[in-house]
Amino acid sequence: MTPSAPDALRNIALVGHQGSGKTALAEAMLHASGMIGRPGSVPDGTTTSDHHQAEQDRSMSIFASLLHADWNGTKVNILDTPGYPDFSSEVIASMTVADTALYVMDARSGVEVGTETAWTYGEQMETPSLFVVNHLDQSSAHFRSLVDEIEDRFGAGATVVQMPAGEGSRTVIDVLRMQQLYFPEGETEPEVQPIDDAFQDEAQERHQTLVEDIAAQDEALMETYFEQGQLTEDQMRDGLHDAMLERELFPIFVTSATEGVGVWRLLHFIDRVCPSPTDRPVETERGDRLAPDPDDDPVAFVYRTMEQEHVGEYSFVRVYNGTLESGQDLENATTGATERIGQMYVLNGEDRNTVPRLTAGDLGALVKLDDTNTNDTLRAPDSDVVLPPIQFPAPRYRMAVEATQSGKEDKLARGLHQITAEDPSLSFEHDALLNQLILSGQGEMHLQIAQSRLKRRAGVEVEFVKPRISYRETIQHRARASYRHKKQSGGAGEFADIALLVEPLEGDFVAPDDVEVRGEETIETDWDATVHFVDAIKGGVIDMNKFFSSIQKGVLNVMEEGPVAEFPVGDVRVVIYDGGMHPVDSNEAAFKRAAYECFRQAFDEADPALLEPIHTVRVTTPDEYTGDVISDLNARRGRIQGIDAQGPLQRIRAEVPEAELHQYAMALRSLTQGRGLHQTRFSHYEQMPRNVQEDVVNEAVADAA
Ligand SMILES: Nc1nc2c(ncn2[C@@H]2O[C@H](COP(=O)(O)OP(=O)(O)OP(=O)(O)O)[C@@H](O)[C@H]2O)c(=O)[nH]1
Ligand SMILES: [Mg+2]
């Protein structure tokens, strides 16, 4: 295919609920445009788009595929996205580089949560959109009520361009051109027929509505319409084009993807009406608008990075300006690195064709560049254009990951770096305190896929275990203790005497009568605890210049693995108020030791307790599930902080112990039929109920044994 001018390009994203028929529709588009012979099928695992083994095993899309069709000289880039909620980052990335979103729906189930989620992305990105009511062969009877439902959820801008003609038929009526289209089995092009009498009235009425909807968007068109009582086909097309760009109108189409019904007409519409890259200049970080011009300096944006089996890694790009050519030196605006563009491809799933150049507006893949990742802008060396990064969803689901074989830790770390660099909605961290590698993603399936990718890419088998909870130990009131460390056998002895006062760190130090503050030091520990050390040594009974830091070390040693169950100790104040030295035998080791023992004793006297991490959880759910979500949060020892209505949704804010949030994403999904979403963030530590504390301590003691 020769490079296309920007206005001869269409970038469309197929989005929507799982199983609505996006992949089947993409396959049908490739077939209708002559890119492939016989269309493959999802159940057989033979579609162009679902080419990964993991997708074929599950008969579902997991990764967004890039496909393209040549339609009368227009290059239609098709981004087929997965509907399963764990893979929303693929949808977000694809929609970022698409100029039109096609919301594919199953006529039998109508508007579903996947449709709604993708719709919110489209609203944020202001993507021109249309609806495709699919599975027409299985249910055309619901079309009319479905149109009402679409208008209900997405506004009156939804307007019918195509309607079914009869139950389960191969015929659709195009109410823009007022034609009946019959799609013979095995053929891609329809036969144009006069509209059946049975559908004349409805077709007329819908045509009228469409004309009025279009005219209402534009004053000049409105005038023409009043003068002539009609709009020409060209006027309707242009009007629709503009109204789609403004997100005023959202055309509704019908298809049966597996039967090839309606697909030809949909492609025709995409070519003739849908926006091209020329219509949609991109906004740069600086707020300028950049329109595609193949002769300008090149600017490209990496919207995803993905490894292709047997091939290596690809950077998927949209060229926003100029022309990308193999051998060209470009600057990575994020890293500052100079990158030489290597092989470039246009793709149809797994099939690739090398191209010498990619022009402004086009989508393609580059052999991954060394210093370039998702969200990076590539530009001419003297340019200052930066494109805004994609905001990927924050992780909702975390698990500790362990290599099943020992000695594979390095491989595991490398593998985790690789897969998280490719998928920005996946992240990992090594929690030094818990001594666990934590992998966070969007859900159970997301992590399962990560597991198989780690095996394939890094050759390391892993298993997931429940992440440990980072409890803290604390004390509940002030207490004192003293300790004398003395070892005098033979030669040099050891001697240190010390008296400590400990208390929870709340507010300023209120010294008791017998204590006088001489100096102080505040230390932040590796586990984010604050320790306020107070030197209240009178008359130099301990040489604090010499021994303050040894005393601190002794205390911090205890705090790192607390006396209750070896959890780190949280914020405390430690006052050194008395003690004694020996002129010869006192040394640093002796004071460290004495402080260690003394602190343990004082801690025990101060009524120690466990603190647990509390998270702020924000749940967004359709109102009908509010009651269930709240009682579930209560059952998780959660405290509801507030409930706000947001349109048809409710936002619930609650404080919930981290220990009760394990796999909450999955629980919420099943509570709300997949329509609830949540975010959680660490808020603070809090004392836990006695019975829960006992369980935790018993478990920790058993683990340590
Ligand atoms: N009868 C009929 N079956 C269809 C139609 N469209 C898709 N299917 C079937 O419905 C199932 C789901 O279709 P897919 O194309 O995989 O749906 P999808 O939207 O890509 O699903 P995800 O990628 O998992 O989100 C498959 O078995 C398809 O063969 C249709 O119009 N009619
Ligand atoms: Mg699919």
Distance from Cα 109 to the centre of ligand 2, integer Å? 17
User: Is the distance from the beta carbon of residue 258 to the nearest atom of ligand 1 less than 6 Å?
Assistant: yes
Judgement on whether residues 313 and 200 belong to the same structural domain of the protein:
no
Predicted confidence at residue 584, as pLDDT, reads 87
Could you tell me if 478 and 596 lie in one domain? Answer: yes
Per-residue pLDDT at 694: 92
Ligand 1 pocket, residue 118 CB under 6 Å: no
Cβ partners under 8 Å of residue 542, min gap 6: 497, 498, 576, 579, 580, 581, 591
Is 390 contained in some domain?
Answer: no
Distance 82 CA to ligand 2 centre (A): 5
Do 299 and 166 have their domain in common?
Answer: no
Which residue lies with its CA nearest to atom 21 of ligand 1?
19
Sheet holding 462-465, edge to edge: 427-431, 436-441, 397-403, 462-465
Q: Is the CB of 85 under 6 A from ligand 1?
A: no
> Which of 280, 300, 326 is the C-terminal boundary of a domain?
280
In a 3-state reduction of DSSP, which class is residue 154?
helix
pLDDT at 522: 96
Indicate which CATH number applies to the domain containing 653.
3.30.70.240
Nearest 5°: phi and psi at 36? -130, 155
Are 244 and 307 members of one domain? no
Residue 197 CB neighbour total at 10 angstroms:
7
pLDDT (tens digit per residue) in 219-241: 999 999 999 989 999 999 999 99
166: pLDDT strictly greater than 80: no
Asked, for residue 389, whether it belongs to a domain, the answer is no
**Does 167 score more than 80 pLDDT?**
no
State in Å: Cα 119 to ligand 1 middle: 20
Determine the average pLDDT of the residues in 621-650: 93
Mean pLDDT for the stretch of residues 550-555: 97
pLDDT of 481 > 90? The answer is: yes
Does the pLDDT of residue 295 top 70, yes or no?
yes
Q: Is the confidence at residue 294, as pLDDT, over 70?
A: yes
Model pLDDT, residue 3: 64
Confidence category of residue 1, pLDDT binned at 50, 70, 90: very low
pLDDT of residue 316: 96
Last residue of a domain, one of 561, 590, 607: 607
Indicate which CATH number applies to the domain containing 254: 3.40.50.300
State in Å: Cα 414 to ligand 1 middle: 37
Clarify whether residues 26 and 167 are in a common domain. Answer: yes
- If asked whether residues 36 and 174 sit together in one domain, one would say yes
CATH code assigned at 338:
2.40.30.10
The predicted-structure confidence for 576-623, as pLDDT tens digits, reads as follows: 999 999 988 899 999 999 999 999 999 999 999 999 999 999 999 999
Cα 271 to ligand 2 centre (Å): 23
Q: How high is the pLDDT of residue 306?
A: 86
Residue span of the structural domain in which 65 resides? 8-280
Residues 262 and 290 in one domain: no
Atom of ligand 1 nearest to the CA of 257: 31
How far the first Cα of the chain sits from its last, in Å, is: 68
Residue 648: the pLDDT is 78
Flag whether 224 is in a domain.
yes
Contact predicate 347/67, CB 8 Å = yes
Residue 391 lies in a domain: no
Band of residue 673 on the pLDDT scale cut at 50, 70, 90: confident
Residue 351 has pLDDT above 60, yes or no: yes
- Residue 42 in contact with ligand 1 by CB distance below 6 A: yes
Q: Same structural domain for residues 548 and 516?
A: yes
Q: What is the pLDDT of residue 139?
A: 81
Distance 517 CA to ligand 1 centre (A): 75
- Pocket of ligand 1 contains residue 46 by CB under 6 Å: no
Confidence of residue 460 (pLDDT cuts 50, 70, 90): very high
- Give the whole-angstrom CA distance, residue 120 versus residue 677: 13
Number of the ligand 1 atom closest to the C-alpha atom of 135: 31
Which ligand approaches the C-alpha of residue 42 most closely?
Answer: 1
Q: Which atom of ligand 1 is closest in space to residue 136's alpha carbon?
A: 31
Q: Are residues 204 and 82 in the same domain?
A: yes
**Span from the CA of 534 to the centroid of ligand 2 (angstroms):** 64
Any atom of ligand 1 within 6 Å of the Cβ of 20: yes
The residue that leads in pLDDT, 583 or 49, is: 49
- In percent, the amount of the chain with pLDDT more than 90 equals 80
Whether residues 12 and 132 share a domain: the answer is yes
How many Å lie between the centroid of ligand 2 and the Cα of residue 61? 4
Residue with the smallest CA separation from ligand 1 atom 11 is 19
- List, for residues 250-286, the tens digit of each pLDDT value: 999 999 999 999 999 999 999 999 999 999 999 999 9
Please determine, for residue 533, whether its predicted confidence score (pLDDT) is greater than 90.
Answer: yes
Which atom of ligand 1 approaches the CA of 43 most closely?
Answer: 27
Mean pLDDT in residue range 91-120: 94
For residue 410, what is the domain's CATH number?
3.30.70.870
Residues 181-210 have a mean pLDDT of 94
> Is the C-beta atom of 82 inside 6 A of ligand 1?
yes
CB–CB of 440/427 below 8 Å? Answer: yes
Question: Which atom of ligand 1 is found nearest the CA of 255?
Answer: 31
550 and 632 share one domain: no
Average pLDDT over residues 511-530: 93
Ligand 1 site, residue 61, Cβ cutoff 6 A = yes
Same domain, 201 and 139: yes
CA–CA–CA angle 391, 322, 286 (5° rounding):
40
Is ligand 1 within 6 A of the CB of residue 19? yes
The verdict on residue 68 lying in a domain is yes
Number of helices (H) and strands (E) in the chain: give both, helices first. Answer: 16, 37
pLDDT of residue 564: 92
When pLDDT is cut at 50, 70 and 90, the band that residue 453 belongs to is: confident
> Own/partner pairs for 481-487, CB < 8 Å, 24+ apart?
481/598, 481/599, 481/601, 481/602, 481/605, 482/578, 482/579, 482/598, 483/594, 483/597, 483/598, 483/601, 484/580, 484/594, 485/590, 485/593, 485/594, 485/597, 487/590
Percent of the residues in the chain that have a pLDDT greater than 70, as a whole number: 99
Size of the chain, expressed as the number of residues it contains: 705
User: In the predicted model, what is the mean pLDDT of residues 453-465?
Assistant: 90
The response to whether residue 60 sits with its C-beta less than 6 Å from ligand 1 reads yes
Cα four-point dihedral sign 607, 610, 613, 617: negative
The alpha carbon of 181 and the centre of ligand 2 are apart by a number of angstroms equal to: 27
* Residue type at 204 in one-letter notation: Q
As given in the structure block, the two tokens for residue 283 are 């906004």
pLDDT band (50, 70, 90) for residue 38: very high
User: How confident is the model over 360-388, as a mean pLDDT?
Assistant: 94
Ligand 1 pocket, mutate which of 15, 22, 42 (most atoms under 8 A from CB) = 42
Ligand nearest to the CA of 58: 1
Radius of gyration of the chain (CA): 33
Q: How many domains are there within the chain?
A: 5
In a domain, 180, yes or no: yes
d(CA 692, CA 659): 10
Quick: pLDDT tens for 106-127.
999 889 888 999 999 999 999 9
> What was the pLDDT predicted at 2?
54
Q: What is the mean pLDDT of residues 136-165?
A: 91
- Nearest atom within ligand 1 for CA of residue 61: 23
Distance from Cα 217 to the centre of ligand 2, integer Å: 34
Determine if ligand 1 sits within 6 Å of the CB of residue 372.
no
State how far the Cα of 627 lies from the Cα of 615, in Å rounded to an integer: 21
362 burial via Cβ count (<10 Å: 0-12, 13-18, 19+): buried
Task: Answer yes or no: is 108 within a domain.
Answer: yes
Rounded to the nearest angstrom, the distance between the alpha carbon of 260 and the centre of ligand 1 is 12
In a domain, residue 387? The reply is no
User: Among residues 379, 412, 446, which one ends one of the domains?
Assistant: 379
The one-letter amino acid code at 153 reads: R
CB 21 less than 6 A from any atom of ligand 1: yes
